[in-house]
Amino acid sequence: MFKRLLIANRGEIACRIIRTARRLGIETVAVFSDVDAEALHVRQADHAVCIGAAPATESYLNVAAIMQAAKSFQADALHPGYGFLSESPALVEACTEHGVTFIGPTADAMRQLGLKDEAKRIAVAAGVPIVPGYFGAATDPATLVREAKSIGYPLMVKAVAGGGGRGMRVVSKPGELAEALESAGREAGAAFGEARLMLEKLVESPRHIEVQVFGDQHGNAIHLFERDCTLQRRHQKVIEEAPAPGMSTDLRRKMTAAAVKLAKAVGYAGAGTVEFLVEGGELSADAPFYFIEMNTRLQVEHPVTEAITGLDLVEWQLRVAAGEPLPLEQDQVRHSGHAVELRLYAEDPAADFQPSVGTLQRFTLPDDDCLRVDTGLRQGDAVSPFYDPMIAKVISHAPDRPAALHALDNALEELVVLGVVTNASFLRALLRHADVHSGHLDTGLIARDFDSLTELLPQYRAEAVEAGLWALLKQQSSKTGNRSWDADDSFQLGPARHIARQVLVDGALQAVVLGVNAATLSQQFEIAVTDRRTAFVWCGLRQVELVLVDPGASEEAHVAGDGQTRAPITGRVASIEVTEGETIEEGATVFVVEAMKMEHVVRSDVSGTVEQVLVAVGDQVSSGDLIVAIRSAVGERI
């Protein structure tokens, strides 16, 4: 076994790898960017070293810096986690060159299976069914347009590299193809360093089923059953479970056999996941299924497989990389009960899952023996715009599926997250959805029922706002010594005093009147007050943000949208689609900001003339920065 393991990753996966390494007596080396200096994975590791600036390209994607760190600490093994360089043959080859064992497959196997187009060619040769499409060597726009016509619409544009839904677009008609190709290629190039694209026929109402496979260096390969990853938004998973509900014995046998066959075709060693789409949403014995890709690494959702099998997949990875045979043969692998994982993200589902950044002013995770919680954050940590917005994973394991779903529902009631917007309320709505409970799933469920899943329920909201304002004014009075002449809360004489204030509530200007029960109400909510006249209130698994308005300023100064186009999030300017002096129509794309592993497209909401472009492609911008000013046709600016 290894003596010292460098973990070329961050966040919860780095913390998870550290746990297994410590149990096996292996020292760990954490790498971090300058914004992660105080991160949890840095504190938990035995050693840590900074490898560069916050942008991933200057740190977690920097092969040279990572290998220098491994050399400096004499690490004899390197675990890539998932994301970043986990599927980079260049990192595998660098490890070989420096005498460091890479915890994963060979560079050759990674090249063959890590790129979706090549993996499809291998699948065809191995007799594994694939989704009809185009995955040829020529990927110029003219070729893709021609092939799209042959495939027919609707179809999928997909990056040949990477995963996580990045570089993926659904195209419903020919007129949407050009923009989809440009956007997907740009996003894929930034995320994976590989902008090539492929096309697939859109499979109608599919289930997304993946099979966990494991191979060793002695020619053995087995499966560890399947996971259902059907519940997705923007082609990214939010709830996963194992085993797949409704999976027939015959279909499981056929799918797992196909997955193992694919792994053996390239002599695969290590953990891998073979992903399939099952057409029609039912997992009956004769349901048509298609291979779509293989992930040559550990998956985010691996804990549900660990839960039902009782195995530690990171330990298996380490043992296989050390040259040991697989710990078990196929007929020795058993599964028990049902496991479900939900991903808690810093994002706003009601705003099309826009990522949220900020400091965790309050952060309380559920604590129960029947739950597993994986996180790389603590209260006081910041959710950075530079990386994935996942805050934590919560995993339940119970004797059956209804009990596992119920345990997660209960777990959410213990959750408190203040300082960033989260998807907690959305997750609860999804867990309680009738089709989720019955197991009637397909990948279109979230999009189809988006409005009901993201509905802003009014219950307690008015009380939460009043409680938050009371907390803000209490903080102000404590700073001024409770002197009435220092207050700005509409002082009045008389016994029944009511305080009226103008407050921004989630960005919208609102007049709030405090009643005599405001102090009592404040005790019913979790509230975090900051020194910048802001309060965060936890209400119905949602955060309500209140910002005190300066009574001396004009109302217009506080209304969201100040007449100019601004960055919606801190990130890198991926493209500017307009030029100064150009006349544009309402709905035209103005610019694109890349942040948190996705593109944020900003469109014009008026027709008008571009007056000023203040940034260039590649510039780093902060949320709220002025980007483009447009004079509308009726004299307004956006």
Q: What residues are annotated to the active site?
A: 297
Q: Contact at 8 Å (CB) between 523 and 451?
A: no
How many C-beta neighbours within 10 Å does residue 87 have? Answer: 25
Burial category of 475 from C-beta neighbours within 10 Å (exposed 0-12, middle 13-18, buried 19 and up): middle
Residue matched to tokens 């690490």: 75
Distance separating alpha carbons of residues 62 and 90, to the nearest angstrom: 11
Per-residue burial over 314-344, b = 16 or more CB atoms within 10 Å of its CB, e = otherwise: bbbbbbbbeeeebebeeeebebebbbbbbbb
Look up residue 495 and give its two tokens: 């016994």
Torsion over CA of 119, 123, 124 and 125, rounded to 10 degrees? Answer: 100
As a residue count, the chain comes to 638
Distance separating alpha carbons of residues 176 and 579, to the nearest angstrom: 23
Q: Contact at 8 Å (CB) between 454 and 426?
A: yes
How many Å separate Cα 255 from the centre of its chain?
Answer: 27
Q: Which amino acid is at 519?
A: A
Q: Contact at 8 Å (CB) between 514 and 499?
A: yes
Q: Any alpha helices (H) in 381-534, and if so which ranges?
A: 401-413, 424-431, 434-438, 445-448, 450-453, 461-480, 518-522
- Phi and psi, residue 15, nearest 5°: -65, -40
Query: What letter does residue 187 receive in the DSSP assignment?
Result: H
Distance (Å) of CA 525 to CA 460, 462, 470, 536:
10, 12, 12, 10
Q: Checking phi first, is residue 500 left (phi over 0); if not, alpha (psi -120 to 50) or beta? A: beta
